[in-house]
A and B are shown apart, each in its own frame.
Chain A
Amino acid sequence: MERAELAERVSRAGKANEAMNVVEVSGISKSFKGVKVVNNVSFSIGQGEIFGMVGPNGAGKTTTIRMLMDIIKPDSGEIKIMGEPINEEVKNRIGYLPEERGLYKKLTVSQSLSYLAALKNMKKRLASERAEELLKRVNMLPHKDKKTDELSHGMGQLIQFVATILHDPELVVFDEPFAALDPVNTQLLKELILELRSQGKSVILSTHMMNQVEELSDRILMINKGQAVLYGSLAEIKARYRNNSVFLECDRLPDNLPGVVGSKAHGKYMEIFLDGRVSPQEILSTLINQGVKVDRFEVSTPSLNEIFIQVAKEGC
């Protein structure tokens, strides 16, 4: 990861601690049929950040989000959105793309959008202007008078994105947004999410696809079995879980490199494990001094997936 980008991510993560958090969740719990689905989870989200909520299926992500949306009430704990307990006025400033999502089959695209915008208290005229603009952005403008059951699955998904952000919400919540998306729409959605951040909106991105979160998020909350297992800046977490190894692609590996305790072949490249006293820089300079031709030298950062597996193991 580039140093500058890392620095930027850290600074973004720091923003969450500023005075006014967009989301402030403290100690919420929820049980169904006597099973704690969400257990004492707390987190906060600052303005203009992409907040990743990760964890395996059934970890409690959707339940947490539904509590944020006031669709279900927490058994205990407190939720504040834009500084106040959720109310109708606050709901109008949130956009939500649920995991279970669809559209009215018999309505046209613009009818569906105008009804959903009206329910967010948006003026009719403004809604239709903005709908036009956003439909254009996702190349769906020619289809605006079609009934949604005439659209393909992928087109329907684009309309759902538009419906989610039509009322210009300050907080946008995406629950498993990439599920069943084709690569083109996945890319488009990623662009839209980054655009939202650049407009100063806060985004919650909940998914079990760790790589997507890794790519987009500033800070993350990792949930497993209803409990928060990791929380904080993505860069910090990665640094914390860095295991002392280096990916190496070279013509030959000299024996008895000082500080190297083992190696593992990965086909074209290999991973060498350091003892923790010798820094990767020293290894690199040793290799070069010994005349090894190095094609690739990369300090390994564990993927979020690997971190999750490690955390889940520790938790057991």
Chain B
Amino acid sequence: MLNKAFIILKHEFWQTVKNRSFIILTLALPVLAILGVGIYQGVHHWYHPGVPQEEKIGYVDYTGMFGNSTSEPGVQFILYTDEQAAKDALLTKDVKEYLVIPADYLSTGVVTRYTLSREVAPSTKTTGQITDFLLSNLLAGKVSPEVLQRVETPVLLASFRLNETGEIAPNQNVVASYVVPIVFALLFMISIFFASGFLFQSVTEEKENRVMEILLSSVSSRQLLVGKVLGLGIAGLSQVSVWLVTLEVFSRVASSIIPALSDLSIPASLFGWGILYFILGYLLFAALYAGIGSIGATAREGQGWSTIFVLPAVVPYYFSYFIVTYPEGAVSRALTFFPITSPITSMMRLASNVIPAWEIALSLIILAGSVVLTMWLAAKIFRVFLLMYGKRPALREIGRYIREA
């Protein structure tokens, strides 16, 4: 029994991993990760080509108040006695722009700026430099340098999210705590669908190309089902492993060089539970797909049926923002326990680190139970429908065949 199932397992595994689309999908993530880090590094390097050159801004002061401090970081302010001199300096590019501070500046706050470059609005950098220049001259001698610094930059906001016990919750980084669960769930979903999709394809193909009956004269339908499910499952598992390793390496590299991802870390529990949820989730979909695949005479026919299960399965993805934001809400809980949505929802909640142990346990028990039930059903459907090529049976007929089998 096991010997022949193993031959089928080996055959299905190798046929899958040698498949071009499987290889591309598996390697896509590592390649994207390497590209991402590479591009970030490149852009980073290219954008900061060394110490920026000091710029010069001219000004004409009719108030006589702005002569004390003429130097701000990155910029030198040069005083001109009249506007014509300042304009000449601008036209000869001695300064990149000049300001005219009128005599009534204190009461109106109006400063006129002249520049040669086209712009929608002055850049924040320039506005900041001008503001700082005006502030430091207005307050010079009236407040201490420390106060002056605070007036220029009054706040550097640092926010922290606390959990119920008043401790600082992990994963403070917005990017890390939202992106990781969603990316993770997406990959997980792709891999489960891909592996069970391959299973579906392999069943319908053997039915369509009429190899099925030749196979069934050598092996039992049960051996065929076991061999296929395990062979393709191992292929899917190797794909997920490649991705998990990639994510782990990427998160380490990325958190050390990209500031926005500085606390990007993947909870260790994600790996262990991830594998378990993957196995059960895959087995559930494999059983469903094998059953459906054996009913239709052609791949096209079965495809329509399989949509019935794909649609609910991607529901957690539509709700992903909700699940990540309210991981303990009623919807998140319900999706955790419903077998078809449970693997992906649980992975999202595990990735965002908010799921109590009892919920994991309960969802796994429900999932495992559903796997056993669907496998048993699939084996029966498999046996009855593998050699039926006639018209597609009605739902009621399928029910009767299952009872008769």
Q: Tell me the A residues contacting B by CB distance below 8 Å.
A: 66, 69-71, 88, 91-92, 94, 96-98, 100-105, 115-116, 118-121, 163
Contacts and interface: CB of A to CB of B under 8 A. Distances in A.
19 contacts: A69-B217, A71-B387, A88-B1, A94-B217, A98-B213, A98-B214, A98-B217, A100-B389, A101-B210, A102-B209, A102-B211, A103-B209, A104-B205, A104-B211, A115-B7, A118-B7, A119-B7, A119-B218, A163-B214
Contact of A91 (B3, B209, B217): B217
A105 B209 contact: yes
CB-CB nearest 8 A-B residue pairs: A102-B210, A96-B217, A98-B213, A119-B218, A102-B209, A69-B217, A100-B210, A71-B216
A66 B387 contact: yes
Nearest to B383: A72
Nearest to B384: A72
Interface residues on B, range: 20 to 34
A105 B208 CA distance: 11
B96 interface: no
A71 B8 contact: no
A97 to B, nearest CB: 8
B209 A104 contact: yes
B215 interface: yes
A71 B213 contact: yes
Contacts of A104: 205-206, 209, 211
A98 B389 CA distance: 14
A69 B216 contact: yes
B213 A121 contact: no
Taking chain B's interface residues, is the majority helix, strand, or loop, or is none over half, making it mixed? helix
Contact of B218 (A101, A103, A116): A116
Contacts of B331: none
Interface centre among B7, B213, B216 (most CB of A within 10 A): B213
A147 B328 CA distance: 54
Interface centre among A98, A105, A116, A119 (most CB of B within 10 A): A119
Contacts of A98: 210, 213-214, 217
Nearest to A91: B218
Interface of B: 1, 3-4, 7-8, 11, 205-206, 209-220, 387, 389
A163 B213 CA distance: 13
Given A105-B209, A119-B4, A100 B218 contact: no
A287 B215 CA distance: 61
Contacts of B215: 116, 119
Given A71-B387, A100-B387, A115-B11, A120 B218 contact: yes
Contact of A100 (B1, B4, B8, B213): B213
Contacts of A118: 7, 11
Contacts of A115: 7, 11
Contacts of A103: 209, 211
A71 B211 CA distance: 14
A244 B220 CA distance: 52
A93 to B, nearest CB: 11
B116 to A, nearest CB: 67
Contacts of A116: 214-215, 218
B246 to A, nearest CB: 29
A134 B229 CA distance: 33
A88 B1 CA distance: 8
Contacts of A105: 205, 209
B10 to A, nearest CB: 9
B205 to A, nearest CB: 8
A98 B213 CA distance: 7
A121 B3 contact: yes
Given A71-B213, A100-B210, 17 more contacts: A69-B217, A70-B217, A71-B216, A91-B217, A92-B218, A96-B217, A98-B217, A100-B212, A100-B213, A100-B387, A102-B211, A104-B205, A116-B214, A116-B218, A118-B11, A121-B3, A163-B214
A100 B390 CA distance: 12
A104 B206 CA distance: 7
Nearest to B220: A70
Interface centre among A69, A98, A120, A121 (most CB of B within 10 A): A98
A100 B210 CA distance: 6
A119 B10 CA distance: 11
A80 B110 CA distance: 107
Nearest to B400: A33
Nearest to B8: A119
Contacts of B218: 91-92, 116, 119-120
A102 B218 CA distance: 15
Nearest to B4: A119
Nearest to B219: A119
Contacts of B212: 100
A100 B216 CA distance: 12
Nearest to A112: B211
Nearest to A95: B217
A101 B214 contact: yes
Nearest to A94: B217
